[in-house]
Structure 1
Amino acid sequence: MQHKVTFGAVWTIFLIGGVTCMRHNLSAYEQRIASGELRKACSKIGLLPQPPVRVDTTQRLKALRKILNNTAELKDPFPLDALLVTSDDDHQTEFVSNYDKRREYISGFSGRGGDAIITMDKAVLWADGQYYQQANEEINCDWLLMQEGNSLVPTQAQWLISEFPNGARIGADPRLIAADYWNSLEYELQSESEKLQLVKTKINLIDKIWLNHSETEEEKHAFTLDEHYTGKHWTQKVNETRKELRHLHAEAMVVTALDEIAWLLNIRGRDIPYTRFVKSYVLLSQSSVTLYVDLNKTKRNVTTFFNAEIPGLTDSTVEIKPYGDIWLDLKTRCQIWKSVLVPSSCVYSPGASKMIYDLVPEDKRVSKPSPIIHLKAVKNPTERIGMRNAHVRDGVAMCRFFEYFERRFKKGDFWDELKVAQEIDRFRMVQELAVDISFRTIVAFGTHGSQPHYEPSPTTTQPIFDNSTLIIDSGGQYCDGTTDVTRTIHLGEPSDEEKDAYTRVLIGSIELASLIFPDNLKTGSIDVLARAPLWEIGEDYPHGTGHGIGAFLGVHESPIYIHYNPRMKQEHFKVGYFFSNEPGIYLENKFGVRLENILEVIDKPYLKHSFGRSYLGFKDVTLVPYSNKLIKFGMLSNHHKKWLNNYNARIRNLVGTELKKQNATDAFYWMMDNTQHIPESLGSITKQSFNLVFVNVVILCYSVL
């Protein structure tokens, strides 16, 4: 949600004073983009066939609008003019449980991210460019669709200011919106009109109209994780966090992010899909730790693990209290504590909710990113070994799947996207220490591959043939690590265009993975290495090149975000960081290509430390063969071929050994066939590789602080 806090003053002026004049300068097509009216199968003339995945939300919108005008239902003396519905739960978690999919319920859009605003006569959805095509398919014609990030499209604040020039009351649930976003939106609205108010609703309006809502909530037990996997006892992590709090001049902290609680206390749960988190809060001070959780989830080994049954509080005790007690306890303890850290936003971490934020008095509130973010991002030696081992087993699962898939396809078995996703998940889950998949598996064939985050469903899945590319993006949650890998394959004879696209994506991935750099280089600076081969042909991709990844935690982990866009605060790399390297190309109505490996940041101790700087590099922990039939070897430099040969040798050694241990003979020979040595020539450097070398030099000269 970091992108939501940037608002353009020029756009505000455009919307309030110059809308008529400036819209005359836009083409009819651009006007439809700016207004959100560029909708699929939503012509005002005639009835067009609707996409099969489209969700009819007409009656839901009608029911919601009745409540907007009903002061008794609102428990407020004044009605609301609009309602803001975000994708978040109480903890601003990336993946939310079925119980918390309120934005999906009211809009029909099932993708991650995206916010909705419903007024008495309009319904508008803002969706990121990665999910724009999906949203256009899923939401019905009652909705306007805004492509977030498009320069023609207004932000939510700008749209509201334009829609309500005489003022309005916009309701939102303060439990489900991060304080940073709420405060920024409120400031933007009130800076233009004191009559535009962002109102905290006393009830959740979506819950009021959601039929059978309570049936979507399930009770699942929490469990603890041994030091064999975490590398540190929870008491050690608590002490490290307390030390950081003292540096930040905070006496205590409220921990709201579920991945931070999972890391801090070595606890896991089953409340959130794909990420083994337990829904909870933690109040951490210099002398106590209190966990707020559904007590029915801690009946097994959790209370014993934290010595919670022992009377009194000690350094090796966690007090466990009912989940709902956080609201009274936080308010009460703030009367004792002199300063309390309330987490603010940091890349993938939106920070604490507005409700939590307001419970801490302003004179005691320390609003800064959680120190736990950086503590857990740097993996300790045990976690690093675990991540490497998990990726070896993950490579085994992928090799076994690809061998099986290609063999059965050649024999004439029917395959569609959904079947591929189900089979990949099955192969992964039989691996040792496998617990779950780390996100919903993406399988996109042909034109579906032009949607960066297309996910197959029973209504959208299409058969797989041998006439286009197939993108497979999947990952696993293991007790010792989290994985995320993308490969693009072709079951027939790829076209020259497909080979060119694949090879450019591969070159970008290799260039980034090969970089050696001083330790003060900003993370976003390396992004151009992956994009340069695509920029050469006027192409790009609408997402970042990389994201941090946790160790049996979230598949997207702060603070690492690889993108040249300076909107987000750029970090420096540290030894022990793990992050993704995932360039892609998406040709609308044609095909797509994406390749993704997880990289580990490692030290380069053999290099001289000039000017007191250390040098760092990357090591690929993902070990899955690339598709040789899609590579134009003539486009590769000797450096690229050498990198591929070294990478393939590591696969043969590490994954091959594990395949033998599992007696996976067919998969072993498939792996050997797909990691054969590539002849390296001594020919002159190509113009393209020269350009990439030049980009390397420019980055190191101008991006180092």
Structure 2
Amino acid sequence: MFQHQSFDPVSDRSFAGKHLPLLRAEMKKQNLDGFVIPHDDEYQNEYIPAYAERLMWATGFSGSAGAAVILQDKAVMFTDGRYTLQVRQQADSDYFDYVDITETAPDAWLAENAAKGSRIGYDPMLHATAGVKKLKAAAEKAGFELVAVSQNPVDAAWKDQPAAPLTPAKPHEIEFAGKSSEDKRKEIAAEIAKTGADAALITAPPSVAWLFNIRGADVSRSPLPLGRALLNKDGTATLFIAPEKVGNELPGFLGDAVDVRAESDVGVALQKLGKEGAKVAVDPALAPSKYVDDLKEAGAVIVDMTDPCALPRAAKNDTEVEGAREAHIRDGAAVTKFLHWLDTQAQSGDVDEIRAAQKLESIRAESDDLRDLSFDSISGAGANGALCHYRVSTQSNAPLKPGSLYLIDSGGQYLDGTTDITRTVPIGEPSDEMRDRFTRVLKGHIALATLKFPAGTTGHQIDMIARKPLWDAGLDYDHGTGHGVGSFLGVHEGPQRIAKAPNSQALKPGMILSNEPGYYKANEYGIRIENLIVVTPPKPVPGGEREMMEFETITLAPINLDLVKTDLLTEDERQWLNDYHARVRETLSPLVPAEIKDWFEKATRAV
């Protein structure tokens, strides 16, 4: 269900002053000295429905990752490098201290700061088992009591909390999925049986959607139906989903081997498994700790198992990869039209960030194939572009001024694929420094795009390839180089990623990732070049001894050549850029309007 972007502020610095007293009063009612608020909802989603924005309600921080610890006399915000500036703008420093979550997580902070004998609460539906284990270790170290609350004090204090979404779940046909739900269930069931488990509890909505070939609209910009599932080792399953989401077509589409029940029945089903002494596989990093506690108390045997759907969901089949290619052609044509508009209509300083975002949205929406955006566009002019996860609002809206850079990170949701692309363009004449930094980012982008690597290679091992041209100049960026992308699912998808942070997941053929190095000069400008790439099957290298995998770039749209210092490029880098633009020109020409053909030829010219 496509909804236009809203640019009204979703929060402000007044939230803490208004809401913390209400929260602390509720905590006092529950005899709590502190409470841990993650950004996560009950499904461990990154992007969450409005009712689940508990962290934002309590703090004012609207980013997609973070946490807070609220004590009766102190409050702390935890975010990573993506949100260093944003959290200080939104969470009032009169109420909060700020901590880098990559250096000190909430459990580690509590271990050093919580008073002995204090009662620190957490909502067991919002914390996975692995996270609770860390909190329990902190409690043991500091001597505080960790309390699993039966009612979240934020929910109790939040009087105008929105209702949970109830949008219909719909079939995702095999022409897009590439494999039937029955075949998927049989394959995953075989993996469950290997662990000795009788069934697996699937709690992540992307995995539920993938396993049953269904999609929904419960989460903004992600076509997810919120629900849970139990998959038995014989391939039969129970889908737990609100009855309001089940239309007449869904039961027949799912077939007789799938029992559809209300999500509120999950607890009853877990009790039954426990009484039977069943062995139940759960992912300790994803399953709400309450579910695991309920299973144990009922008598079930817990088998730790990484979400068995995650890896096959990430390694796309041939149909999904081809669908992604087709989606990127259509999306690339829309982005190209927008880049032409930027270059010809937005250079005078009269256009602002909101108008630019709306223009790109309107161009994308011309396609009948567009189902939604894949996220609200990051439309950052000048200094706002230096905020790598910036979200423009009517309060922050800035003009695209001559002599500055404009960064636009955006994407679309199509039945055959999910797109995510970032382009940086000059408004007026760029400075020599801007061109130097852009070219270094481009060199890193090309290094990753052209990399050959053997089976077993992880994204962690190759992250530095994209950073070296920046490191050579004493520069860097504080976000990952690449994230996984779903197939008409979330724009951020694991388990694969390319980042400094350790990650043991080897890259597999069919995985789609982003290639997005960047550079950000605080209070001045931001640069990012992002294409999506697909891991190719291994193949021999002439004269080599081992087969190697590569990346196929599937995003197609011009990279701004006015920002490129060609003397910084090697001959191979220049050849890659020229070959890429030749492919963009050849593929998109049939979709580009005749009136912009001259501009398009120039934008994709050889350098």
**Normalised by the size of structure 2, how large is the TM-score?**
0.94
Match of 2:531 among 569, 579, 597: 597
Instruction: Confirm whether residue 156 of structure 1 aligns to residue 106 of structure 2.
Output: yes
Candidates 73, 88, 108, aligned match of 1:121: 73
For residues 210-232 of structure 1, what are the alpha-carbon distances to aligned partners after superposition, in whole Å with 9 as ceiling and x for unaligned? 1221x443431111111110011
Gap change, CA 1:588 and 1:96, over 3 Å in 2: same
| 1:669 counterpart = 2:598 | yes
Q: For each residue in 1:349-391, what CA deviation from the matched residue of structure 2 results, as whole angstroms up to 9, or x when unmatched?
A: xx11111121222861111211111111111111110000011
Distance in 1 between residues matched to 2:494 and 2:151, nearest whole Å: 31
1:536-563 CA-to-partner distances (Å, cap 9, x unmatched) read 1111111111111111111111111112
| 1:257 and 2:193 aligned | no
Larger Rg: 1 or 2? Answer: 1
| Pair 1:150–1:336, CA change in 2 (3 A) | closer
Q: Distance in 2 between matches of 1:436 and 1:337?
A: 44
Q: Which residue of 1 aligns with 2:247?
A: 299
Of 95, 99, 120, the match for 1:147: 99
Deviations 1:452-495 (A, max 9, x none): 11110111111111211111101111000011111100021100
Structure-1 residue corresponding to 2:335: 398
1:55 aligns with 2:5: no
The one-letter code sitting in structure 2 at the alignment partner of 1:275 is S
Distance in 2 (CA, whole Å) between partners of 1:176 and 1:403 is: 45
Q: What amino acid is the match of 1:57?
A: A
Q: Does structure 2 conserve the Cα–Cα contact (< 8 Å) formed by 1:403 and 1:666?
A: no
What is the match of residue 126 of structure 2? 176
329, 332, 355: which is aligned to 2:272? 332
* Contact in 1 for aligned 2:435/2:563 (Cα 8 Å): yes
Which residue is 2:83 aligned to?
A: 131
Q: Given that residues 578 and 606 in structure 2 are in contact (C-alpha distance below 8 angstroms), is that contact kept between their aligned partners in structure 1? A: yes
Q: State how far apart, in whole Å, the 2-side matches of 1:413 and 1:452 are.
A: 22
Contact 2:276 / 2:300 at 8 angstroms: preserved in 1? no
Which SS does the other structure have where 1:489 is aligned?
strand
Q: Which amino acid aligns with 1:59?
A: K
Task: Return the alpha-carbon distance in structure 2 between the equivalents of residues 528 and 474 of structure 1.
Answer: 25
State how 1:292-441 maps to structure 2 within 5 Å.
Answer: 292-307=240-255, 314=256, 317-336=257-276, 338-345=278-285, 351-361=286-296, 364-410=301-347, 414-441=350-377
Query: Is the Cα contact below 8 Å between 2:178 and 2:320 reproduced in 1?
Result: yes
Are 2:410 and 1:463 equivalent residues in the alignment? no
The answer for the alignment partner of 1:188 in structure 2 is 138
Counterparts of 1:16-27 in structure 2, within 5 Å, are: none
CA contact (8 A) 1:433 1:480 kept: no
Deviation at 1:128, TM superposition (A): 1.4
Partner letter of residue 340 of structure 2?
E
The alignment status of 1:629 with 2:558, answered yes or no, reads: no
CA drift of 1:603 comes to 2.9
Over the residues paired in the alignment, what is the CA RMSD in angstroms?
1.8
- In the TM superposition, what whole-angstrom CA distance separates every residue of 1:95-142 from its partner, at most 9, and x where no partner exists? 000011011001111111111111111121111111121110111234
Whichever residue aligns with residue 263 of structure 1, its letter is W
- SS in structure 2 of the partner of residue 472 of structure 1: strand
Q: Are 1:279 and 2:208 counterparts?
A: no
Which of the residues 52, 57, 79 maps onto 1:100?
Answer: 52
Change (3 A) 1:378 1:218: closer
Whole-angstrom distance in 2 between the partners of 1:264 and 1:609 = 42
For the residue of structure 2 that corresponds to 1:259, the secondary structure is: helix
**C-alpha distance in structure 2 between counterparts of 1:306 and 1:520, whole Å:** 36
Gaps of 5+ in 1: 1-51, 308-313, 346-350, 679-705
Taking the TM superposition and a 5 Å limit, the aligned residue runs for 1:497-576 are 497-566=433-502, 569-576=503-510
State how far apart, in whole Å, the 2-side matches of 1:353 and 1:235 are: 27
Structure 2 counterpart of 1:110, which letter? S
Q: Could you report, residue by residue, the CA deviation over 1:257-288 in whole angstroms, capped at 9, with x for unpaired residues? A: 00001100010111011110011111110242
Q: Distance in 1 between matches of 2:125 and 2:604?
A: 51
TM-score, structure 1 length as denominator? 0.82
Question: Using a 3 Å threshold, how does the CA distance of structure 1 residues 507 and 144 change in structure 2: closer, same or farther?
Answer: same
| 1:450-489 superposed matches below 5 A | 450-489=386-425
Please state how far the C-alpha of 1:54 moved relative to its aligned partner.
2.4
Cross-structure match for 2:5 = none
In 1, Cα distance between the equivalents of 2:501 and 2:40? 24
User: What is the aligned partner in structure 2 of residue 695 from structure 1?
Assistant: none
CA apart distance, 1:608:
5.9
Task: Measure the CA separation in 2 of the matches of 1:304 and 1:676.
Answer: 53
Determine the C-alpha separation between the residues in 2 that align with 1:465 and 1:604: 47
Between 1:584-593 and 1:518-527, the stretch displaced more is: 518-527
Among 128, 148, 151, the residue aligned to 1:203: 151
Look up the SS of the partner of 2:283 in the other structure: strand
- Counterpart amino acid of 1:650? R
Check the 8 A contact 2:349/2:402 in 1, yes or no: no
> After alignment, is 256-265 or 426-435 more displaced?
426-435
Equivalent positions of 1:35-50 (< 5 A) are none
Match of 1:289 in 2: 237
Which amino acid counterpart does residue 591 of structure 1 have in structure 2? Answer: Y
Question: Hey, what's the Cα distance between the residues in 1 that align with 2:171 and 2:456?
Answer: 37
Q: Given the superposition, is the C-alpha separation of residues 218 and 161 from structure 1 closer, same or farther in structure 2, using an over 3 Å criterion?
A: closer
Does 2:270 match 1:270?
A: no
Aligned to 2:186: 239
**CA distance in structure 2 between the aligned counterparts of 1:419 and 1:344, rounded to whole angstroms:** 44
* Displacement after TM superposition at 1:604 (Å): 4.9
Once residues 14 and 493 of structure 2 are traced to their aligned partners in structure 1, the CA distance between those partners, rounded to angstroms, is: 32
**CA distance in structure 2 between the partners assigned to 1:216 and 1:474 by the alignment:** 28
Helix, strand or coil: the match of 1:334? helix
Name the CA distance, whole Å, in 2 between partners of 1:440 and 1:210: 25
The structure 1 segments of at least 4 consecutive aligned residues displaced by more than 4 Å after TM superposition are 608-611
Count of aligned residue pairs for this structure pair: 594
Q: Please give the secondary structure, in 1, of the residue aligned with 2:342.
A: helix
Distance 1:61 1:181 in 2: 24
Single out whichever of 514-523 and 542-551 deviates more from structure 2: 514-523
Name the % identity. Answer: 33
> CA shift at 1:208, angstroms?
1.0
Aligned partners of 1:242 and 1:285 also within 8 Å? yes
- Report the CA distance shift for 1:69/1:54 in structure 2 as closer, same or farther (over 3 A): closer
How far apart are residue 234 of structure 1 and its match? 0.8
In the other structure, the counterpart of 1:29 is: none
In structure 2, give the amino acid aligned to 1:671: F
1:582 aligns with 2:516: yes
What do the CA deviations read for 1:670-691 (whole angstroms, capped 9, x no partner)? 322210122xxxxxxxxxxxxx
Q: 1:239 & 1:381 partners in 2: Cα distance?
A: 19
* Residue number in structure 2 paired with 1:15: none
Gaps of 5+ in 2: 1-10
The one-letter code matched in structure 1 to 2:606 is H
